[in-house]
Amino acid sequence: MRIFFNWFSLLFQYVRTWTAISLLFLVVTWTIPAQAASHIDPQLEQQVLQIIREHPEAIIESVQTYQQQQQQKVKQARQAFLQDLKTNPQKVIGESPTTGSTQLKTVLIEFSDFQCPYCADADKTLKKLLEKYPDKLRLVYKNFPLTSIHAEALPAATAAWAAYQQGKFWEYHDALFTNQKQLGKALYLDIAKKLNLDLRKFQRNLTLATPAITKDIQLGEKLAVPGTPFFVVNSPSFSGVVQLADIESILADAK
């Protein structure tokens, strides 16, 4: 799994470097009208900088407090999500693509990115698990395109959603991962043709995918998904965030 640096950890690491700018901004915001913000008194600025140099711990403590508050919010969001997954899994699944068992014994939520090589590797393992536990595992796909590093992640997700509207999501999903190094408009259309999709409907649905994908992304952000692939599972034996390597043991234990 690709793990990205936590923003708050990064902020704390460099906070001493940026302390002067941060506190100066706060002081200016609190004490100077907006229209005068561009005319900061140099003497006031020097006074603020001096205070910062003498008491940097105040900023560090504020950042730590904020970090703790954010972590608590994430914890609460994940707890609420897991509760929904236990009591009303269909609410969590929503209109997302699913495959595997028609039962809801073990529901595995996957946040994935079609351009992520780790997701492509994970998909191979997931296929083996679905074959081995056809009556236990239901896989739910949620989009979490890492657009800052994967330029084709969102277009690929959009194309897969358009294929989903014609009942061919998983076939399209597999083709995207198989041809991951060729992601682009030409590939998206070529896959649609090979799957015998209605191309007019496919093109039209490309323009309608944004709300569904955005909903997935917002859910991932709420749960503080750090990277892809990211898994959340609910089964008779375990409920929570899980590593791919641990999923088979959970399935084996599920009664």
Which pLDDT tens digits describe the chain residue by residue (255 residues)?
444 334 334 333 444 444 444 544 444 444 444 444 456 788 888 887 887 788 778 777 777 877 787 778 888 988 999 999 999 999 999 999 999 999 888 999 999 999 999 999 999 999 999 999 999 999 999 999 999 999 999 999 999 999 999 999 999 999 999 999 999 999 999 999 999 999 999 999 999 999 999 999 999 999 999 999 999 999 998 999 999 999 999 998 865
Other beta carbons within 10 Å of 69: 10
Q: Among the CATH numbers 3.40.30.10, 1.10.3720.10, 3.30.70.270, 3.40.1710.10, which is that of 88-253?
A: 3.40.30.10
Contacts of 109 (CB under 8 A, 6+ apart): 85, 92, 140, 142, 231, 232, 233
Residue that the structure tokens 């698990």 belong to: 129
Whether the model pTM is above 0.85 = no
Contacts of 174 (CB under 8 A, 6+ apart): 123
What does the domain layout of the chain look like in residue ranges? 7-76, 88-253
